[in-house]
Structure 1
Amino acid sequence: MTYPSVGSCLTTTFCSTARAGEFTIPNLSSFKPTIHVKRSDVRLETDFNGLAITVFHLPRTKSLQAGEDDFWIKQHGPTDPEAALANHFRINNPPLDNALFSYEHENAHRPLTKTKFIPRLTRAAKAAGLNPLQGHAWSISLGAFLST
């Protein structure tokens, strides 16, 4: 089911200030485990303040070919990325070696593509009576929503 993967991807990219392209796949046939974030690239750690953080190892980013770690901490309310990720794992249960936001489709797992992610956000915005956004405007808009 794509909805939990889309919601989890949205809250993860916002709360970790990452690009959607770092957590989605360009197209269905382009997933490469050495380049794209997988479920096995997620780990739990404790920061220097003793807070639990969820860390995502991005094997490669737009600006860093060697990759980097990105993270978020639990938030309170309906946009909590921890709850969204747990829901995604519960419903879609992507294999460890598959794309992080893979979802079940016809008895197999399909990676969440950017071309599936953005149109789903557009449909949700229209259904909520909002103007659809493009590119980085999604993060800016979600940030405005969270700050109210």
Structure 2
Amino acid sequence: MLRVLKATLDLSDPFDACIWALACCAFWGMMRFSEVTVKSRSDFDGTKHLKQSDVTFGADNTGNLFTTLHLPLAKTAEAGEVQKVHVTEHKDTCPLDALLNLARMVPAGPNDPLFSWRDKKGEIRPMVCKAALEHINSIMTAWGWGTSFGHSFRIGGASHYMSLGKDPEIIRIAG
């Protein structure tokens, strides 16, 4: 699914760069689509949705790079608890590279939506769930695949980790 998206999207286009970044993060981070998108353009709230400042990049003690997304509101988190989603490098579908590309394509301030794009007037727009899924599904159907839904990336990521033999309890806790 991710490779089909990458082969089709124009990563120099702000909207497509945003789609790519949120798809990679949702898949590898086993995130709900509601954690990477908003219901409507006016729905963005920095106390509930990911902002630019909610992302940190780092390296572990062996030099492996990772990114942490600090979710201000998550379905499985306690009230007021920030849930952390860690994603690591993944060759041609790397969420770190996708986030860095998004930052180049959509320069934004610390309180702007993380998963956002710039319209033709230069205004920053948060990615709306319906628009993201419509765009993704238009690509999937053009390739002769079925359509996806919000949990497809979360389920896909969990299934991928299971196929690699990862401990189901770790997958359950992470996602």
Into which bin does the TM-score normalised by the smaller protein fall? 0.7 to 0.9
Amino acid at match of 2:96: E
Given that 1:94 and 1:101 are in contact with CA atoms closer than 8 Å, whether structure 2 keeps it comes out as no
- State the match for 2:122 in structure 1: 107
SS at match of 2:133: helix
Match of 1:128 in 2: 143
CA distance in 2, matches of 1:56, 1:142: 16
Alignment match, 2:22: 9
Q: What TM-score do you get using the length of structure 2 for normalisation?
A: 0.75
Which runs of no fewer than 5 residues in structure 2 stay unpaired?
1-13, 164-175
Which of these residues, 19, 35, 55, is aligned with residue 22 of structure 1? 35
- The 2-side partners of 1:142 and 1:129 are apart by 21
Aligned to 2:71: 58
C-alpha distance 138-50 of structure 1, shift in aligned 2 (>3 A): closer
The alignment's C-alpha RMSD in Å is 2.2
2:21–2:102 CA contact under 8 A, matched in 1 = yes
Question: 1:43 pairs with 35, 56, 71, which one?
Answer: 56
Identity of aligned residues (%): 25
Q: Evaluate the alpha carbon distance shift between residue 89 and residue 56 of structure 1 in structure 2; reply closer, same or farther with a 3 A threshold.
A: same
